[in-house]
């Protein structure tokens, strides 16, 4: 089935590397103009340049997504340039893993701000033109950790679970305007983050996955692309796990 994208503009946060970069590339492959956002000017710039080199439409924007004022300024600039953002993919995230009794307040605050508050900032600031046009796609990248929990990740699990609750509430708020809000929750995916795990940890993780392998970033990205398309217009408020069966 071919998917339909009609002159769409997308913002993808955390697009400098990993899953976010592949999401940006897959959307660009569909003809979407992609705004690659990351904290690092170098990484989002490289992502946008790679898309352009392959014939796609992209631009880079360095933004600290945990900074409300920075997101306001970036959103205003993007709306002035494009009129509206059709597709918002909140993917930016960090980890600061440690057991709760050892967790500093800064470790909690940084993860909640970057992973959860950023969704609120971007959605709030890009939503109004979607409501006027009566079309929009908001896709939040959570994690199976937000569904299942994980020792040493109380901050990350709380943020990722919060994204699911936020998305369900938003889906109900904007459904009358034909805007959909959905969640994609990856499991163990082959990224820089998982490659840093030692071999014993990786093998132990695979034993807990019914499909006995880590997923590919492209497998997450394809789900996002579908949810961003015209064809997904009757799907909202849902969480889709891409996890090899971990959370079933």
In a domain, 248, yes or no: no
pLDDT at 195 over 90: no
In a domain, 190, yes or no: yes
pLDDT at 193 over 80: no
How large is the average pLDDT for residues 154-166? 98
In a domain, 50, yes or no: yes
Q: Where are the beta strands (DSSP E) in 131-178?
A: 136-141
- Name the active-site residue from 121, 156, 226, 234: 156
Q: What token pair was written down for 166?
A: 């936020």
How many residues belong to the chain?
248
The total of structural domains in the chain comes to 1
CA distance 44 to 36: 6
Which tens digits make up the pLDDT trace of 210-247?
999 999 999 999 999 999 999 999 999 999 999 999 99
First CA to last CA distance, the chain:
27
Q: Is residue 40 very low, low, confident or very high in pLDDT (cuts 50, 70, 90)? A: very high
In a domain, 30, yes or no: yes
| pLDDT mean across residues, the chain | 96
Tell me if residue 234 is catalytic.
no
Give the global pTM.
0.96
The domain spanning residue 17 has which CATH number?
A: 3.40.50.720
In a domain, 150, yes or no: yes
Which tens digits make up the pLDDT trace of 80-130?
999 999 999 999 999 999 999 999 999 999 999 999 999 999 999 999 999
Range of the domain at 231: 9-240
In a domain, 246, yes or no: no
């Amino acid at each position: 089935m071919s998917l339909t994208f009609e002159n769409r503009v997308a913002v993808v946060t955390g697009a400098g590397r990993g899953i976010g970069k592949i999401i940006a590339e897959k959307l660009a492959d569909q003809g979407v103009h992609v705004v690659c956002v990351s904290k690092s000017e170098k990484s989002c710039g490289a992502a946008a340049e790679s898309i352009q080199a392959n014939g796609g439409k992209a631009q880079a924007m360095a933004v600290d997504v945990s900074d409300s004022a920075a997101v306001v300024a970036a959103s205003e600039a993007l709306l002035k340039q494009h009129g509206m953002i059709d597709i918002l993919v909140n993917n930016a995230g960090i980890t600061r893993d440690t057991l709760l009794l050892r967790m500093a307040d800064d470790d909690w605050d940084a993860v909640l701000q970057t992973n959860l508050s950023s969704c609120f900032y971007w959605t709030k600031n890009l939503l109004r033109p979607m409501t006027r046009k009566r079309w929009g796609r908001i896709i939040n990248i959570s994690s199976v950790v937000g569904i299942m929990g994980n020792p040493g990740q109380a901050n990350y699990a709380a943020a990722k679970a919060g994204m699911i609750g936020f998305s369900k509430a938003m889906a109900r708020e904007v459904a009358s305007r034909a805007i959909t809000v959905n969640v994609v929750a990856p499991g163990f995916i082959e990224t820089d983050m998982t490659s840093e795990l030692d071999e014993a940890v990786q093998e132990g993780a695979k034993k807990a996955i019914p499909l006995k392998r880590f997923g590919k970033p492209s497998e997450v990205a394809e789900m996002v692309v579908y949810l961003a398309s015209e064809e997904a217009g009757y799907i909202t408020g849902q969480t889709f796990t891409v996890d090899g069966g971990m959370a079933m």
